[in-house]
Structure 1
Amino acid sequence: MRARPGHRLIDAPVAALPAQGRGNRVASQAASSATVVGGAEALEQLLQGKDIDRWCQKIIDLEDEADHITAEVLLAVRRSFITPFDRGDIKDLIQSMDDAIDMMHKTVKTVKLFETKEFDPRMQEMGGVIVAAAKLVAEAIPLLSKVGTHTVRLNAIAEEVMRVESRADDLHEQGLKDLFKRHGRSDPMAYLIGGEIYGQLEKVVDRFEDVANEISGIVIENV
């Protein structure tokens, strides 16, 4: 396990595990969503087109770390009686967060495969949107330890993630239109590669929307 202080995946749901079920300091190892935020920030930097190899490797490392943390947490979930959340709620929430950074990794694979060095302004804007979504999720996670106390804020965060996702949809659509105008006929390969990157960035935001939906579900079930 390579978890470092400040780079962990999730906290409140794991904090709900009884002490005997945590084992190997799973609770402390999964103390925040900083791994996902770190991946989002690295992706935003990658899309600036500078130090691409560095930021690609950063995302790869964080995705690997997130996988290890997720596996440990899910093992603890299977072994433990969990309150105040249902096992399925914990599993789905953690998996949705892991899916977000997995999709960032897929974007990296595309960038490396096609040796992409420049990124459209709207791709860069989508990078900022992804960071915003990740930070909203990071704010929400610790609030789940006291759902009743933080219901209003949790619902507001979920709604804000939905608005962020809508903004990403707009950027995706306009970006594809611009891409087609520039390359649709003159350079079909550039259009296809750009379209693939746009699509993957959109899917990253979609995964954060999934997280927001899981949070909303937990609020509804526990208030």
Structure 2
Amino acid sequence: MELLNRTFIAPLDREDLFAIIKEIDNIVDALETVAHRFEIYGVEQIKPEAKILSEMIINCTKELKSVVENLKDSKNTKLIKEKIIEVNRIEDEGDIVYRNAIKKLFSENRDKPIEVIIWKEIFGFLEDTLDACEDVANVIEGVVTKNA
């Protein structure tokens, strides 16, 4: 934020950059929350669905990295929009993985309530992280549309 206040950036308003940075920070916060849950609960074995959701988060953040790198050049609007669509697609797919993970968790662990509680929370935070990625994409989409 200090660098933003000291730097002149012509293509985007400072308010738009602040909104983007704030949403990116929400991704970082969500990832920290997930990491802390693994530590707090002493999770030693990762469920396959958590791995899938984690890969989706990685893919979303790679797409967002590309979007941010291309924000400087207004000629890259088409590429930016394609990347934003991909982030939204991944997040939608993540919703399906999340719902199926919860359904499987409850059906296969009826006699393990503590495990259900732990993994329901972890899956929820992983899905929240994907939502945060989509929020960044949505803010950037609005900024790009505004400046087109």
For the aligned pair, the TM-score class normalised by the smaller chain equals over 0.9
The runs of 5 or more residues in structure 1 that have no matched partner are 1-73
User: Aligned partner of 1:152: which letter?
Assistant: K
CA shift at 1:208, angstroms? 0.8
Q: What letter matches 2:60 in structure 1?
A: A
Deviations along 1:102-141, one digit per CA (max 9) or x if unpaired, are 1111111111111011122111111111111011011111
Cα displacement string for residues 22-70 of structure 1 (whole angstroms, at most 9, x for unaligned residues): xxxxxxxxxxxxxxxxxxxxxxxxxxxxxxxxxxxxxxxxxxxxxxxxx
Aligned counterpart, 1:170: 96
Q: Does 1:194 align with 2:119?
A: yes
| 2:19 pairs with 1:92 | yes
Write the letter of the residue equivalent to 1:96: E
Aligned residue for 1:117? 44
Instruction: Measure the CA separation in 2 of the matches of 1:162 and 1:95.
Output: 19
Cα distance in 1 between the residues matched to 2:70 and 2:63: 11
Q: Among residues 76, 83, 86, which one is paired with 2:10 in the alignment?
A: 83
Instruction: Normalising by structure 1, report the TM-score.
Output: 0.64
Offset, 1:77: 2.9
Q: How many residue pairs end up in the alignment?
A: 148
Alpha-carbon RMSD: 1.3
The aligned amino acid for 1:180 is: F
Alignment of 1:98-177 (within 5 A): 98-147=25-74, 149-177=75-103
Give the residue type in structure 2 aligned to 1:210: D
- Whole-angstrom distance in 1 between the partners of 2:99 and 2:33: 20
Instruction: State the distance in 2 between where 1:80 and 1:133 align.
Output: 28
Structure 1 counterpart of 2:46, one-letter code = F
Percent identity, aligned pairs only, is: 28
Offset of 1:78 from its aligned partner? 3.4
TM-score normalised by length of structure 2: 0.94
Match of 2:139 in 1: 214
- Give the AA of the match of 2:24: M
Paired residue secondary structure (1:145)? coil
**Aligned-pair CA distance for 1:76:** 3.1
1:67-98 Cα deviation digits (max 9, x unpaired):
xxxxxxx1233355542211111011112112
Structure scoring higher RCO (CA < 8 A, sep ≥ 6) equals 2
* Residue ranges of structure 2 left out of the alignment (5+ in a row): none
> What corresponds to 1:22 in structure 2?
none
Cα distance between partner residues in 1 of 2:92 and 2:72: 28
- Inter-partner Cα distance in structure 2 for 1:169 and 1:141: 24
- Give the counterpart letter for 2:85 in structure 1: E
Which is richer in helix?
Answer: 2
